[in-house]
Chain A
């Protein structure tokens, strides 16, 4: 049995997906990154290997997410792609006619517009994280309600309660005020969902034409209150794909499927989960910028380096990296 592996290392979650040759999901893993991307990928590889049929042969690997370069080196990626492209590819695979993709992840949110299967416009949050998953995460901790139950609470709301969502810090003060006024918890939680949706639409969707079908993906799509708030605000039905939380990984696997020819994959095998990887950083002394360079090593041998403005550290092979290290540090 042949399959394609997709790895999405984000700020909050690390997701792995193995797709069959026809793009069907064979296995998936969703786990928290917890600030340790290498560990998260290795543990994820262990878990997914245990879950996969024994005769699986990985014939292509793609990585995406903010940790895409790191994970690409570890698993041996055939393609390393940004998360915007990966999400767009996955959405149009699941809903071929999709014209709008709303994606809200841990620390960033995106909107992608497609027409006739082609990305025509996109936007990503820049200066503020108020419209992202960590906003809800933070509030759920404060309210003492598990984030998984947020949706069901929100759906119980009967009277909407306006929360200032411009900034997550001010939203919190506003929420405390609403609690002290005696508003019901359900109404406050739904109010939060509405605030997040308002913030998202104002920041990212500003001036854009949101046409149906609209696909809503990313970890936050699990929250039924968010779906309801989007539908109320846009007056359009929102589609939430079955695997909404791992769409980035699905996109990466699909991209790998489109890249690998003749079965020549760089995949390093599931054994990588037991290798001891070390990352080191140092300041390059090549010029006055003194860029901070990260290097990933196994047993004292450099696998890859990155960072730095000039791009000289993003060299193709490990040997070249080793050579460069000797000459310029």
Chain B
């Protein structure tokens, strides 16, 4: 059986389940929250990443992992004493013919290997590669942990889907994920004279700790910021298909699609690409993006590589110089 539920026994209806504010949180939190609440669970999420969380994560994680995964572990540790179980789904594939990052495929296993005593880990599998039937079978199988009523499981899922749709609509309209999820995003109105596209994985782009508050800084310096969430999925899909060979990672297709869209439509003054130092996919699409950006003269492209050793001084210098460069252009 391709779906392996490892949680074993039934959870009490009022169980508190923790969702770490890291990695796919920025993409699917409303879906997961709606689904779990619909099943009768209490849901809590961790707070924004702090130094303590980063230190906790990096101290238990394998050294070769990327910073976002290490931070994910930090969030698990942050939640461990507050919840009955942790929600760490195995997101294998979210559309036909593609995969997600290999670390997402093994995330529950990586989490179990973390050197810290963690509560029970709930790891439903989300895999659309094998078709709808398998996907929903897995869903019902997971739902059985909470209830035997297939109807209730279905209704819970649909509640999550509705919340997710509403969330994505907000993001499309330009609300940042943290704002949409009710957290503080240091919302400064974007009324700048420059428009900058921020490419990169949402967990890098929207975690102010990982990117050293890049978005807030850009806004303070008078730049409007646009991200991939503000582009229609079919547009991302269309743009990503311009690559001679289909990328087989979904989320990276979205990053590529967004950057290509901005370059193609010339709707931004410049693009900043945030990437993790240890990320395999990022290292590959960085080259694809840089090559494509060269073909579109007049839209500067800059990569910012981030890991736990990143110094703020170097990052600020680069971003300041990037903004100066864009302003200088628009003056002449």
Contact = CB atoms under 8 A, between A and B. Distances in A.
B216 A126 contact: no
Nearest to B322: A122
Nearest to B313: A66
B324 interface: yes
Contacts of B328: 118-119
Interface in A111-128: 116-122, 124, 126-127
B110 interface: no
B95 to A, nearest CB: 32
Contacts of B165: none
Nearest to B310: A126
Q: Is the interface of A mostly helix, strand, loop or mixed?
A: loop
Contacts, number: 67
A81 B328 CA distance: 14
A120 B320 CA distance: 14
B216 A311 contact: yes
Interface string B30-73: 00000000000000000000111000000000000000000000
B50 A288 contact: yes
B332 A118 contact: yes
B217 interface: yes
A181 interface: no
B316 A121 contact: no
A82 interface: yes
A288 B318 CA distance: 27
Interface in B203-242: 208-209, 212-213, 216-217, 220
A116 B328 CA distance: 11
Contact of A126 (B217, B290, B314): B314
A84 interface: yes
A289 B50 contact: yes
B324 A82 contact: yes
Contacts of A82: 316-317, 320-321, 324
Contact of B314 (A116, A119, A124): A124
B300 interface: yes
B325 A120 contact: yes
A85 B332 contact: no
A120 B317 contact: no
B321 A122 contact: yes
B317 A309 contact: no
A311 B300 contact: no
Contact of A287 (B50, B213, B294, B320): B50
A85 B321 contact: yes
Contacts of A84: 317-318, 320-321, 324
Nearest to A108: B314
Nearest to B298: A120
Interface in A80-134: 81-85, 108, 116-122, 124, 126-127
Interface of A: 66, 81-85, 108, 116-122, 124, 126-127, 207, 287-291, 309-311
12 contacts: A82-B324, A85-B325, A116-B332, A119-B329, A124-B314, A126-B305, A126-B314, A207-B290, A290-B51, A309-B208, A309-B312, A310-B186
Interface of B: 50-52, 186, 208-209, 212-213, 216-217, 220, 277, 290, 294, 300, 305, 312-314, 316-318, 320-321, 324-325, 328-329, 332
